[in-house]
C-alpha cells in the first residue's frame, strides 16, 4: 500500500510517515504543512480536476481541500485509517459536493449524455506510474457493470440513482455492483483501512 | 427510494464512493453506529476508493502553492478533541431569541448580524454544545469513533470562516438552531424542547429551494429534550429548512404542516 502520495514535486524519500506530518500540521507547524502540500497536492488536485473538470473550479476546490486539511488536521485519527485515505476522502467529498451544487448543474447535463463511459477517460489521464497501473489492472478485473458503476460514481460524482439512470439498470443492481466492485478492487489491491 | 432498514449492507459501496444523497448518507451513518462489521467494511472500501483517487494524480499550477500556504497562515485550526465528553453539560439555553408576537409558525429565523465570522467566544460555546450533545448519545465504547467523526464534521462547519447561526422557535414549543457554511455547503441543526411525539412518529427535516422540497433526514430521538446535532451537507440552492412530523420511517414529501421553518441567508 502506498503511504505517502506523490505529485507536485519530486520526492527524495518516497515513504515517510504522512500521519506524523499531519500530526505536526495539527499543532500549527506551517513548515510541516508546506511539506504536506508538496507531498499531497498532486493527488488532491488530480482527483479534484478529474471530478470537477472546470479548471478554475478545480483550483478553488483544491485550495478548499488543502485548507480543510490544515483546519481539521487535529481530527485525523491514525487508528481509524491511513492518512492517504483520510486525505483522499476529504478531497473526493469536496469535489463531489461541488459538482452537485447548482453551479455545475448545467455542465453535468451535457456530460451525462457523453458516449464514453468514465473508465476510458481514466485510461487516458492516469499517469504511467506503478500504482496507477496496478489500479487500472485491478479495475480490469471487475465486470463491466461493476467497473462502470464504480467509475461513474467515483470519477463522475454521480449518485447511485443517477448511475442507475445512466446505465439503465435497477437501483438495487447498481448498489450491489458498487459494493461488489469495490470489494473486488480492494482485494485485488490488497487494501486495508 | 428510501434507505431500507432491512438491507443496510448493500449501501456500503455507494457510501464509500460518496454516491449517496445526504439523507441516505445520514441514514447509513446511523446504521454504521450500530454495526461494527459494517464500519470495518466501510473503512476498507473507502481505502479502496482512495486508491482510485490517487490514480488520477496530476500536478497543480505552480502559483497555487504560495496562495494556499498564505491562506493557511490566516486560518484557524480546530483544537484536538479533548476529553470534554464526560464533563460537559449542554448549555440550558442557546443564544438569541425568536421574534415575538407572531401567531402560528415561526416563518422567519432570527439571523445574526451579518458578521463575516462568528465571534470566537460564540464559536467556542457552540462547539462545547456540540461536544456536549455528542456526550449525551455516547452509550457504549464502540460508538465512540463514530461520534468523533460526527463531531469532526460538526466542528468543521462551525469553524468555517463564513459560518452563520440562526435560531427559530416552534409555535407549539421548542426551538431549532442552525449553523451553516455556504463554503462547506453544509449546516448543523440542533433542536431543543420540541414536543414529544407519539410512538411511530418522528420529526423529519426538509430543505426547500427553487428546485422544490427534498428530505434531509430524520431528527434523532431527543435526550433530555435535545436532539444531537445533525449535519446536512450538499446544500445547493436551498433557502429554507423545515421540520415536520412524519411516520418514523420518514416520508418522501411532507405530509403535515411544518412545525418550524428557518430562512437561510443567501
Which distant-in-sequence residues (6+ apart) come within 8 Å of B264 by Cβ?
B109, B166, B178, B180, B187, B238, B239, B240, B241
Q: What is the pLDDT of residue A18?
A: 94
CB contact under 8 A, A67 and B68: yes
Q: State if pTM tops 0.90.
A: no
CB contact under 8 A, A81 and B156: no
Q: What is the pLDDT of residue B82?
A: 65
Q: What is the pLDDT of residue B75?
A: 96
CA distance B236 to A103: 9
- The ranges of chain B with pLDDT < 50 are 3-6, 83-145
Q: What is the pLDDT of residue A186?
A: 96
Strands B186-192 and B201-209 turn out to be: unpaired
| pLDDT higher than threshold 50 for residue A45 | yes
* B56 close to B49: Cβ distance less than 8 angstroms: no
Q: Which positions 52-91 of A are in contact with B (Cβ < 8 Å)?
A: 59, 62-64, 66-68, 70-75, 77, 79-82, 84-85, 87-89, 91
| Residue with grid cell 483544537, as numbered in its chain | B79
Q: Report the chain A residue with the minimal C-alpha distance to residue B46.
A: A85
CB contact under 8 A, B13 and A181: yes
Q: Which residues of A touch B237 (CB under 8 A)?
A: 101-102
Q: Which residues of A touch B155 (CB under 8 A)?
A: 72, 75
- Chain-centre distance for alpha carbon B229: 6
Predicted complex ipTM: 0.84
Strand order in the sheet with B164-169: B110-111, B164-169, B175-181, B186-192, B226-233
The answer, for A154 touching chain B at a CB cutoff of 8 Å, is yes
Q: Which of B7, B36, B60, B232 to mutate to test the interface with A (most CBs of A within 10 A)?
A: B60
The answer, for A107 touching chain B at a CB cutoff of 8 Å, is no
- Chain-centre distance for alpha carbon B202: 17
Q: What is the pLDDT of residue B149?
A: 57
What would the grid cell of residue A96 be?
Answer: 463531489
| pLDDT higher than threshold 50 for residue A31 | yes
| Phi, psi for residue A192 in degrees, rounded to 5 | -115, 160
Q: Which of B6, B12, B14 to mutate to test the interface with A (most CBs of A within 10 A)?
A: B14
Q: What is the pLDDT of residue A117?
A: 43
pLDDT digit string, tens, across residues A161-180: 999 999 999 999 999 999 99
Q: What is the pLDDT of residue B124?
A: 38
CA distance B56 to A133: 11
* CB-nearest partner of B46 from A62, A85, A135: A85
Q: Report the chain A residue with the minimal C-alpha distance to residue B146.
A: A80
Q: Which of B2, B68, B134, B183 to mutate to test the interface with A (most CBs of A within 10 A)?
A: B68
Q: Which of A63-67, A149-153, B130-134, B256-260 has the lowest mean pLDDT?
A: B130-134
Q: Report the chain A residue with the minimal C-alpha distance to residue B55.
A: A132
pLDDT digit string, tens, across residues A68-80: 999 999 999 988 8
| Phi, psi for residue A177 in degrees, rounded to 5 | -65, -40
Amino acid at each position: 500500500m502506498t503511504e505517502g502520495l506523490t505529485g507536485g514535486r519530486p520526492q527524495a524519500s518516497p515513504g515517510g510517515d504522512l500521519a506524523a506530518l499531519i500530526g505536526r500540521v495539527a499543532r500549527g507547524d506551517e513548515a510541516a504543512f508546506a511539506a504536506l502540500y508538496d507531498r499531497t497536492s498532486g493527488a488532491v488536485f488530480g482527483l479534484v480536476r478529474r471530478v470537477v473538470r472546470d479548471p478554475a473550479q478545480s483550483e478553488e476546490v483544491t485550495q478548499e481541500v488543502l485548507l480543510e486539511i490544515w483546519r481539521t488536521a487535529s481530527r485525523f485519527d491514525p487508528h481509524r485509517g491511513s492518512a492517504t485515505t483520510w486525505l483522499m476522502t476529504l478531497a473526493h467529498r469536496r469535489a463531489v459536493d461541488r459538482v452537485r451544487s447548482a453551479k455545475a448543474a448545467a455542465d453535468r447535463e451535457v456530460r451525462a449524455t457523453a458516449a464514453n463511459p468514465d473508465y476510458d477517460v481514466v485510461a487516458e489521464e492516469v499517469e504511467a506510474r506503478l500504482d496507477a497501473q496496478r489500479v487500472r489492472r485491478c479495475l480490469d478485473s471487475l465486470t463491466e457493470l461493476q467497473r462502470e458503476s464504480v467509475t461513474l460514481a467515483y470519477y463522475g460524482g454521480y449518485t447511485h440513482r443517477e448511475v442507475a439512470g445512466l446505465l439503465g439498470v435497477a437501483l438495487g443492481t447498481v448498489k450491489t455492483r458498487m459494493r461488489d466492485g469495490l470489494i473486488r478492487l480492494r482485494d485485488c489491491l490488497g487494501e486495508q483501512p | 427510494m428510501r434507505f431500507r432498514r432491512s438491507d443496510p449492507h448493500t449501501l456500503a459501496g455507494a457510501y464509500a464512493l460518496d454516491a449517496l444523497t445526504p439523507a441516505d448518507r445520514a441514514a447509513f451513518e446511523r446504521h454504521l453506529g450500530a454495526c461494527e462489521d459494517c464500519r470495518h467494511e466501510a473503512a476498507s472500501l473507502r481505502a479502496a476508493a482512495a486508491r482510485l483517487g490517487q490514480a488520477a494524480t496530476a500536478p497543480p499550477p505552480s502559483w497555487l502553492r504560495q496562495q494556499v500556504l498564505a491562506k493557511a497562515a490566516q486560518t484557524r485550526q480546530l483544537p484536538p478533541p479533548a476529553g470534554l465528553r464526560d464533563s460537559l453539560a449542554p448549555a440550558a439555553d442557546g443564544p438569541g431569541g425568536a421574534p415575538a408576537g407572531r401567531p402560528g409558525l415561526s416563518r422567519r429565523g432570527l439571523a445574526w448580524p451579518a458578521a463575516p465570522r462568528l465571534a470566537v467566544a460564540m464559536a467556542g460555546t457552540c462547539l462545547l454544545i456540540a461536544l456536549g450533545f455528542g456526550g449525551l448519545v455516547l452509550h457504549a465504547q464502540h460508538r465512540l469513533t463514530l461520534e468523533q467523526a460526527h463531531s469532526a464534521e460538526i466542528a468543521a462547519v462551525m469553524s468555517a470562516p463564513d459560518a452563520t447561526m440562526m435560531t427559530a422557535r416552534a409555535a407549539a414549543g421548542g426551538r431549532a438552531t442552525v449553523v451553516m457554511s455556504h463554503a462547506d455547503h453544509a449546516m448543523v441543526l440542533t433542536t431543543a424542547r420540541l414536543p414529544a411525539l407519539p410512538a411511530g412518529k418522528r420529526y423529519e427535516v426538509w430543505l426547500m429551494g427553487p428546485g422544490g422540497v427534498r428530505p434531509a433526514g430524520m431528527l434523532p430521538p431527543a435526550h433530555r429534550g435535545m436532539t444531537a446535532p445533525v449535519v446536512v451537507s450538499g446544500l445547493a440552492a436551498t433557502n429554507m429548512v423545515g421540520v415536520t412530523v412524519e411516520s418514523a420511517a420518514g416520508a418522501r414529501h411532507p405530509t403535515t404542516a411544518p412545525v418550524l421553518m428557518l430562512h437561510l441567508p443567501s
